[in-house]
Amino acid sequence: TLVYLNGEFLPYDQASLSIDDRGTLFSDGVYEVLEYFAGRPFAMQQHVDRLKYSLAGICIDPPSVVDELPAISDELIRRNDMPDARVYWQVTRGPAPRNHLPPSDPTPTVLVTTTPTQPLSSNPPARQWKAITHEDLRWKRCCYKTLMLLPNTLAKQQAKRDGCQEAILHQGVAVTEGGSTNVFVVRDGELWTHPANEAILRGITRDLVIDYARAMDLTVHETAVTLDELRQADEVFVTGTTTHVTAITHIDGHPIQLGEVGPVTASLHDAYEQQLMQACCT
């Protein structure tokens, strides 16, 4: 398998980063994950735009290669013969002798990797996950997709220990988002999700699902719900690039209603899968 690193396509085993890379030393970098199906990317432009937004957010001048990431990714998918894949982009501030203060003219490190995924199938059922609730221990700029994922990975490890697949994070009683997803609550046929402010990552899937919901004449409130409202919801689901629309059937060991996939979750799941199919496989 080939990877792209700083201008070169290299075999996985031959690609290496400096031990002084600020991505490793300080989590000083940002990333994106996007999906390819049948050799075609989904929501490519949104991922490029968000990568630039994240870079600006942590004061890294976007290297010009950022605009070539779509072409580089297409090439990697083709050369790796991996039509159905997750593509990972990582841009760090680059290598520099260890010092909190970066040099004034760093050279960013740009990495692209691919991992195979399942091809799309027609009419797949919505996945069902169980979740825990977990305090949101992150910093105050979660709107940038930075490499600083320790609070997320710790929360997801706790979820796994409790037999669950996701941790729903909360600040005080306000639900923010999942460890690697955005959270939606359905109540009386209306949707609730956290506003796209500094407290959450503005998910590309989140925004698409909001569009599909509004196109179905569902009311969407971009307002945070409380933990009590979460637990008493009619339906809860999470969204993400690799998660798609996944039902949350249990929270902290208690079922949401009957502990099944609800009708609103099922329709939005179907809308998202149809969109993927249409964008990549027609």
List the one residue from 90, 165, 180, 265 that touches ligand PLP (CB under 6 A): 180
Name the active-site residue from 52, 130, 145, 160.
Answer: 145
Q: Is 67 helix (H, G, I), strand (E, B) or coil?
A: helix
What is the token pair recorded at 99?
A: 């010092």
# residues near ligand PLP by CB under 6 A: 14
Nearest-approach distance from CB 18 to ligand PLP, in angstroms: 26
Tokens representing 200? Answer: 């959450």
**Token code pair at residue 245:** 């629309």
Is 140 one of the annotated active-site residues of the chain? Answer: no
Touching ligand PLP, residues 127-166 (CB under 6 A): 152
Mark the segment that binds ligand PLP (CB under 6 A) among 17-25, 128-136, 173-181, 264-272: 173-181
Stretch that binds ligand PLP, among 18-26, 77-85, 116-124, 175-183 (CB under 6 A): 175-183
**Vertex 125 angle, CA 188 and 253, to 5°:** 60
**Sequence-ordered alpha helix ranges (H) in the chain:** 22-26, 44-57, 69-79, 150-161, 204-215, 227-231, 263-281
- Residue 220: partners with Cβ closer than 8 Å, 6 or more residues away: 190, 191, 192, 193, 210, 213, 214
**Which of 54, 205, 246, 265 lies at the binding interface for ligand PLP (CB under 6 A)?**
205
29 versus 203: smaller Cβ distance to ligand PLP: 203
Contact status: 246 vs ligand PLP (CB under 6 A): no
**Which residue's structure tokens are 């979660």?**
142
Site for ligand PLP contains 241 (CB under 6 A) = yes
| Contact status: 80 vs ligand PLP (CB under 6 A) | no
Q: Which of 21, 177, 235, 273 binds ligand PLP (CB under 6 A)?
A: 177
As measured in angstroms, the least distance from the Cβ of 175 to ligand PLP is 12
* Residues 244, 280 contacting (CB under 8 angstroms): no
Residue at token pair 């409202």: 229
Map residue 228 onto helix, strand or coil. Answer: helix
The verdict on 114 binding ligand PLP (CB under 6 A) reads no
Give contact residues for ligand PLP (rule: CB under 6 A).
33, 152, 177, 180-182, 201, 203-206, 239-241
Residues noted as catalytic:
145
